[in-house]
Structure 1
Amino acid sequence: MEFETVIGLEIHAQLKTDSKIFCGCSTAYGAPPNTQTCPVCLGMPGVLPVLNKKVVDFAIKMGLATDSKINLYNQFARKNYFYPDLPKGYQTTQFDLPIVEHGVVEIEVDGEKKRIGITRMHMEEDAGKLIHDEHEPLSYVDLNRTGTPLLEIVSEPDLRSPQEAAAYLKKIRAILRYLDICDGNMQEGSFRCDANISLRPMGRKEFGTRTELKNMNSFRNVESALEYEIRRQRDLLLDGEKVAQETLLWNPDKNRTEPMRGKEEAHDYRYFPCPDLVPVEIDEDWIERMRATLPELPDQRKQRFVSVYELPEYDAAILTGSRELADYFETAVQVCNSPKKVSNWIMTELLRELKGEDIAVCPVAPGQLGALLAMVEEGTISGKIAKTVFSEMMETGKDPQVVVKEKNLVQVSDEGELLAIVQEIVDANPDQAQQFREGKDKVMGFFVGQLMKKTKGKANPKMANELFHKVLKG
């Protein structure tokens, strides 16, 4: 029996506000435990929350960026459950009246484009954090994160593979980062994802029993966890067993999912309108003010890179995957007006050296890379020498001109000097010279290699080819 996979994602994006959603406590990451708290976020008796307006601004911007409906009237609710990291015994969130609904984003997997629906987005507060002792059967509670503003983004069950889920997750993260409303740091927990997954026989419309996956803190973990859960559910169904509706944790060390608890339904949380917060009313002027602040978004920038810089769609998609990388490319192109060459270097040499690290930590500034490639275009150094220079720049952060001067790497383009070496190489290799004259053009690679060896890679390759042809045919 063939099964169809059905996946929906719930993304929690921590919003880049200086203070929490309902109080003035700092949201800065890394402070000592329980030092960024107050009676409001600790849920002390008699306190009243006050909504942070910037949280609403950010939610509206994300709604506009995903072609969603902004609800002019929305309301906070209490989600009731008991857990050690939830000091109030409930989470202030939104339920039946969220701020954003009915959006869409476009993803691309294996050259196929697909539109993924967004059911809703709602504002809510984060819970605290449990820290488990590695040596004693103890857990500690850090409430610094309590009250940090989140935007929960819930997709339609439109995803059909782990690869589509990862592509959707990356697209949402890119939009949030372009808008500068979330830093997207999965390791620090400011961008988190839960996945709902079920299988159904191919052709059936009714959904199967779903499980929820948690504890996935990287794109690779999301794909791995979904692939494992698909296999697990398929094996159960083929054996005639039922899939239990439950919440699972992904264990990256064992590469498997592990049961956490039974999956709750909405009624288990006993939602009701929050009596301490008035409804949020938004007018069209507020929406238009936010629309005016929207930057160029990833899909728009990708199309501009294709049309203006004449880049292939694949290159443009990679370069616009993050705002910082796209900015890096455009700054480099201002110095070296050869977009394809800049693109090739960023996608091969630069990204390989970064090894997955963010472009922000790159020691080579975009202007420096542009200057290096301009030296290649001008014939000052060869492409091969440029790679040597680039490696030195990555280690030291020095300008390319400084590295070239210090290591005496200026390309040899003096025709008289090169001609003498070329003649010497041809005279020393009569058999290869005869092969070339008999039409074996591949021998030219041997001759150029010998020249590069003698000049330590500094010979102008274009001039070298011309001179060898001149001497061999003369």
Structure 2
Amino acid sequence: FDRKNYFYPDIPKGYQISQYKYPIVSGGLLKGVKITRVHLEEDTATSIHEKDSTLIDFNRAGLPLMELVTEPVIKSAEEASSFAKELQLLLRYLGVSEANMEKGQMRVEANISISEDPNKFGTKVEVKNLNSFKAAEKAIKYELKRMEELMEEGRGDEIVQETRGWDDDKQATFSQRKKETSEDYRYFPEPDLPKLFLQEIFNIEKLKKGLPELPAAKRARYLAFGIKNEDAEIYVDNKMLAEYFEKATTPFHSDLEKIKLASNYITSDLLGHLKNKVDYTLPQAGDFSLLIEMTSKGEVSSRGAKNILEVMHGNSDSPRKIAEENGWLQESGVDAVKKIVAEVISQNQKVVEDYKAGKEAGLQFLVGQVMKLSKGSANPQVTSKLLKEALN
């Protein structure tokens, strides 16, 4: 460990215990972004800047923290935010921390520079202690715009190496202090702490074998099912919903169509109920699987499946029983549907003539009429096929 020496109200003793020469981790890659190092250090106090004064909160001062530093390869505010979200996921999967930004368990500090020379970095400005992904994006965008405007006005020399804060009310950054260089910190070995030697238990290959499935691997596995990118992200972010998805789709093995159908209902209907109803509990995975089977076979329509999911909340009846009791089972029998098709054709001769004259919309109207007469029990695919046969 080393002492990082500087004078600022957030550390009244005048130095911070950190790792400078020998970080605990060197190198790495996360979501395509190169990692320079990961080091341990003590946290400092929180500076709360008021209009005419600054308050200092020492509650977290002295607590150990882990800082990850990336290479200067991130090109946009969105990419920075995406990287930070992926890091948060990784920390949660590994059980390192809940990494809740609103609780101060994770913070983002952005180093920003622009340059007209692609081979040379401009003057670096650091925006510290951003406590949300949205704040990080806004602060980076604001600072880039501020720098670009200064450069365009020929005032590039006003961009100085400094630490800036983010004012969420004003949606603007503000100067806090002139930024020191590494030489200014006068690093030297921490005399009160012995050297840290990592034992055999920290063997990287052994640690890899004990890792859980990480976000990137889980995301790739879900996408291999053919589900939508946004659905895969929901499961990667939501452990409870991911476990439910896996349990409910286990009976489908490699039937990708049923897996995709199940995913659509989970991420739209079930997730919607969970968000909008405080007391909503997910149906038993086995019952949900049965409902997907029924929907896939055309025994219930999409609308019927949604209705059944509504009723299944707090109801121990099977989806088939619920469908039967409410008349939501579709009639796929050709003879039964044929009778209704004949009746609809005889009652809508004008529409029939229009369809035969080339107006395709007429067919959809007739399908709707069959569904209406059958009270939604007729299978739309069977109905459409029988109508075409009768009209052609």
TM class by smaller structure: 0.7 to 0.9
List gaps (5 residues or longer) in structure 1: 1-75, 107-114
Distance in 1 (CA, whole Å) between partners of 2:37 and 2:108 is 15
Asked if 1:263 corresponds to 2:183, the answer is: no
Q: 1:51 is matched with which residue?
A: none
Q: Residue by residue, what CA displacement relative to the aligned partner does 1:137-167 show, whole Å, maximum 9, x if unpaired?
A: 8957462x44544221100000111122122
The TM-score with structure 1 as length reference comes to: 0.68
Q: Tell me which of 98, 107, 116 is aligned to 1:201.
A: 116
Greater share of helix: 2
State yes or no: 1:239 paired with 2:156. Answer: no
Matches of 2:43 and 2:376 in 1, distance apart? Answer: 58
Change (3 A) 1:208 1:141: closer
Give secondary structure in 2 for the equivalent of 1:191.
coil
Which secondary structure does the structure 2 equivalent of 1:266 belong to?
Answer: coil
- When residues 400 and 290 of structure 1 are mapped into structure 2, their CA distance, relative to the original with a 3 A threshold, is farther
Q: What is the RMSD of the two structures over their aligned residues, measured on CA atoms? A: 3.7
Partner of 1:218: 132
Structure 2 counterparts to residues 341-380 of structure 1, below 5 A = 341-349=261-269, 363-364=281-282, 367=285, 369-380=288-299
Partner of 2:37: 120
Q: Which residue of the partner structure matches residue 427 of structure 1?
A: 346
- How far apart, CA to CA, are the structure 1 residues paired with 2:190 and 2:97? 26
Higher relative contact order (CA 8 A, sep 6+): 1
Distance verdict in 2 for CA 1:171–1:138, change over 3 Å: closer
Match of 1:94 among 11, 19, 29: 19
Count of paired positions: 379
> Which residues of 2 match residues 2-401 of structure 1 at below 5 A?
76-81=1-6, 90-106=15-31, 115-127=32-44, 139=55, 141=57, 143=59, 145-203=60-118, 205-241=119-155, 242=157, 243-287=159-203, 288-307=205-224, 309-311=225-227, 314=229, 318=233, 321-322=236-237, 324=239, 326-335=242-251, 338-349=258-269, 363-364=281-282, 367=285, 369-390=288-309, 396=313, 401=318
Using the TM superposition, give the Cα deviation of residue 310 of structure 1 relative to its aligned residue in structure 2, in angstroms: 4.3
> Structure 1 residues 284 and 354, CA, compared in 2 at 3 Å: closer, same or farther?
same
Deviation for aligned residue 1:464: 2.5
- Change beyond 3 A, Cα 1:298–1:447: same
What SS does the aligned partner of 1:364 have? coil
Residue 311 of structure 1 and its aligned partner are, at CA, apart by 4.6
Do the aligned partners of residues 270 and 202 (structure 1) sit closer, same or farther apart at CA in structure 2, a change above 3 Å counting?
closer
The structure with the greater share of residues assigned to strand is 1
Between the aligned partners of 1:471 and 1:339, the Cα distance in structure 2 is 35
Percent identity between matched residues is 36
**Is the contact made by 2:90 and 2:214 (CA closer than 8 Å) also made in structure 1?**
yes
Larger Rg: 2
